[in-house]
Structure 1
């Protein structure tokens, strides 16, 4: 990874400035993900506020940014489409409760089980996803109200401003760190954009596009127009006349009202929602599968982000506390009519790159976002998308693990496969949580396959005629077949000893293999002894009770594996 995120100590000035930078980048992201989820942009903005504020205060990773995310939006969209937005809020609340229980149950520590190859694939896939997502900012609408790619001089000027943004972010830290490079780039490019829009001739503008340079406000109107047009055509069919479409679009734009709104209020006191779902088992049956999926997706993405920020800043977050903080934020977000969310990797990297290390950076980002919604909406809508796209492109460059491309020939083929699968699934399906789960499963299967062949035995014949099998390697479900092949009950003497000094029994499959072997020797009138069992192995055998009947010989005190080594 490029050294954009060098280790820096936390200070209040950096936290405040980086928080402001993150807040500017949060606005279009929250709006875009709200459209993906099929809800109002204001719901996305309120969700970003509550998620960002509460996780900054109660979460386990200072400097990490949370908000409305695409991973959660793709789960929410089907719920809203089938049951309506009124079912969204209790679903988000239940999601938060599940995450709180996960934190109390200390499930956050399981993130340590994610292999490094999975992390590399996740990071590289994420960088590609962030890169591809920026192309949506180059869209406008045509006469038919459909999204179309920006073209002509407006596109060329936008690309120039994107390049200027990236150049400022790259060069400014070489001269001064008094102000975050991303914030300086946004301010400079916003000024250039305003000048270009004022001076641009009519020939530069795209169809139905009032500005030469697309701004945050333009993006909101573009998405609203496309969404309203699609909805009208879905209801009336392709026969819908242009007057009906124009009327629906005008009504939708007026209803959205930009990003300006008042203070959020509890959703069950909000008159805009037609009804409240009854709090009964039928409702629980509807929302529970969605809530469980949201909780899992949110926790996996948040804990992966936590691990990434840990690696970048060379510090360590607290996974269990992060689970609790995410859960609390989702509960409050749901109560106030939000769509919930989780950690946002792109915004977290912007924060880290801008010097944000403490909780004040996340709090500042959330508070500034609320101020944008309450009083500064007209100013925020003037920010050019080119500046925000340039910032995100620099995040992509800093996120992608370029060194991994040079190590393909130096690491095991299985690790390369895991990296490619995780990255490819992330890019193709845009499902970060499932990509991580698939990567962990593949890594576990590879580990089991490799260690299944590592079980062997050294055979010793003692003076008294007894035979000792000194095992080497782990005994678990994958190595059971190898274990059985080591023994020859018919040809062995009457007294046989299995020495477990160099091995351990890990699961019920191993216990059953031992029991089956003991039965074979017993049926032949021979005795099988087990020696040098570790305390964990003895505990497994004791717990199995009558399920396993073996003769455990009394051992002196040997040096065997303990919990500290396990």
Structure 2
């Protein structure tokens, strides 16, 4: 991961970076609003409120939140079937669930996401961002169908995109006084309008999304969002309608936000606060529902723009939100005139900076299981969504871990001076290794006294406890005495049948806990 010098964290960098982010927020907020089936202003309000609140009270300074595609796709069915007011109610409930996640300190579990899953998440999102930008290279033909650009229109789009990327790459070599992304947007916008080039702008993008009768009056101008309780019946039937969507929204939002937080932690060599971020995201979504926004979560693309432009503190996100609101209220014409090519160029640079190119080298050095998980998470992120990809990745990683450790349990056996057979176990005893554990012993042919020594082994879960109880039954049925040494007091507490065979040595017996509801 890239490292950044935190000494450059200052007001100027945060403010200029925030302005850059505000410009990049507009087209995505509008696009995701259309994906969810709501008005563009609902997406812009969401970008403003999510950005302001999470930057002010969240757990990761420098991270940008707003309306996102991952959450927008979850909203489509609810909006289509019940209307936007039910969406607002669902967003409020999702926010409350996220607040509870923070209060109960569930944010720490994101640290359990394996490294290959994290790499797959980063690479998958980079590909998703790239594919999303390709949509800007399409136009509507006379029949109303979207087709790829051709001829001079395409060449102009490619040229302006390349110019934007070149400015972002080479300007920092000359000066770092202004974020290169902001400078690129300003230069390309001035060039397009100064030379009167026929380039598509943000307002063209908005008009393409609207019905024909609304195109002429399309604008991104708006008013301050106002407080309003969602107009839905306060009944159990309403709860039944919105609860499934609210749960999915809360999970998707937290997973994407906490993984983005972890990524920024690594990039900036700092540590965000996961539980505080859960509460910040929850408060922001709750406020969204009451002020007519579609909610959202952390945005990896805009967060990367912010970090790469020098934004480190809370002021960068707050500036982005306030500038965005300022554009909506007072200067919508300025954002409407920005060429889409400039924003596409900025996002292409985000893709290049976000994709973990080193993963290709890492794959050569890691085992094939980790490589499989990395590619799996990347693939699922692209074809499905982030939440499903991360859940699949964690489950597969856990199964791979269990499979690899299933045969790690072994035993050295010998006969001591009293003619007792001693089995010295080595390796974990858990659900994955139970079958191999049972194959180690021979109750029929073993001598009268048998010792199982757990000095180099541990019982990890209730499956291991049950396997030990079952083995004790077999030795007792064969008329033989089993001696169990060096297990923890917690294991002795959970053993039902084998507990009478445990030899207690207070000084030598270990102390560790077993995954069991009884001890929970």
Residue 229 (structure 2) aligns with: 268
Please list every run of 5 or more consecutive structure 1 residues that lacks an aligned counterpart in the other structure: 201-211, 229-248, 270-275
Task: Please say if 1:322 is aligned against 2:277.
Answer: yes
Deviation of 1:339 after TM superposition, in Å, equals 0.8
Deviation of 1:529 after TM superposition, in Å, equals 2.0
Cα gap change, 1:547 to 1:48, in 2 (>3 Å) = farther
- Give the Cα–Cα distance (whole angstroms) in 2 for the partners of residues 11 and 97 of structure 1: 34
User: What TM-score, normalized to structure 1?
Assistant: 0.88
- Give the Cα–Cα distance (whole angstroms) in 2 for the partners of residues 137 and 161 of structure 1: 13
Matching residue within 382, 391, 403 for 1:449? 403
Residue 201 (structure 2) aligns with: 215
Residue 298 (structure 1) aligns with: 253
Task: Please say if 1:427 is aligned against 2:427.
Answer: no
Deviations 1:52-104, CA, capped at 9 Å, x for gaps: 11100111110000000000000001110111111001100000011111111
Deviations 1:380-431, CA, capped at 9 Å, x for gaps: 10011111000000011111111111232221001111111111111222x0
- Give the Cα–Cα distance (whole angstroms) in 2 for the partners of residues 106 and 488 of structure 1: 47
- Give the Cα–Cα distance (whole angstroms) in 1 for the partners of residues 484 and 219 of structure 2: 75
Residue 554 (structure 1) aligns with: 504
Cα gap change, 1:356 to 1:559, in 2 (>3 Å) = farther
Deviations 1:99-118, CA, capped at 9 Å, x for gaps: 11111111111111111111
Task: Please say if 1:259 is aligned against 2:258.
Answer: no
Spell out the pairing of 1:220-231 with structure 2 (5 A cutoff).
220-224=206-210, 228=211
| Equivalent residues of 1:63, 1:357 under 8 A apart | yes
| Equivalent residues of 1:511, 1:548 under 8 A apart | no
- Give the Cα–Cα distance (whole angstroms) in 1 for the partners of residues 457 and 235 of structure 2: 53
| Equivalent residues of 1:518, 1:550 under 8 A apart | no
- Give the Cα–Cα distance (whole angstroms) in 1 for the partners of residues 100 and 216 of structure 2: 41
- Give the Cα–Cα distance (whole angstroms) in 2 for the partners of residues 513 and 371 of structure 1: 66
Query: What is the aligned residue count?
Result: 513
What secondary structure, in the 3-state scheme, does the structure 2 residue paired with 1:51 have?
helix
Deviation of 1:545 after TM superposition, in Å, equals 6.2
- Give the Cα–Cα distance (whole angstroms) in 2 for the partners of residues 311 and 4 of structure 1: 7
Residue 84 (structure 1) aligns with: 83
Task: Please say if 1:289 is aligned against 2:244.
Answer: yes
Cα gap change, 1:312 to 1:8, in 2 (>3 Å) = farther
Over the aligned positions, Cα root-mean-square deviation in angstroms equals: 1.7
Residue 440 (structure 2) aligns with: 486
Residue 280 (structure 1) aligns with: 235
Deviations 1:431-488, CA, capped at 9 Å, x for gaps: 0111111111111111000000100011131111222111100000000001101111
Spell out the pairing of 1:96-495 with structure 2 (5 A cutoff).
96-196=95-195, 198=196, 200=197, 212-224=198-210, 228=211, 249-251=212-214, 254=217, 257-268=218-229, 276-429=231-384, 431-495=385-449
| Equivalent residues of 1:108, 1:323 under 8 A apart | yes
Task: Please say if 1:513 is aligned against 2:476.
Answer: no
- Give the Cα–Cα distance (whole angstroms) in 2 for the partners of residues 352 and 416 of structure 1: 28
- Give the Cα–Cα distance (whole angstroms) in 2 for the partners of residues 547 and 340 of structure 1: 54
Deviation of 1:546 after TM superposition, in Å, equals 4.2
Deviation of 1:150 after TM superposition, in Å, equals 2.6
- Give the Cα–Cα distance (whole angstroms) in 2 for the partners of residues 454 and 474 of structure 1: 7
- Give the Cα–Cα distance (whole angstroms) in 1 for the partners of residues 124 and 5 of structure 2: 22
Spell out the pairing of 1:522-533 with structure 2 (5 A cutoff).
522-533=476-487
Cα gap change, 1:307 to 1:97, in 2 (>3 Å) = same
Deviation of 1:14 after TM superposition, in Å, equals 0.5
Deviations 1:161-189, CA, capped at 9 Å, x for gaps: 11111011101111211110101111101
- Give the Cα–Cα distance (whole angstroms) in 1 for the partners of residues 288 and 111 of structure 2: 28
User: What TM-score, normalized to structure 2?
Assistant: 0.96
| Equivalent residues of 1:494, 1:527 under 8 A apart | yes
| Equivalent residues of 2:465, 2:495 under 8 A apart | no
Residue 205 (structure 1) aligns with: none
Cα gap change, 1:503 to 1:9, in 2 (>3 Å) = farther
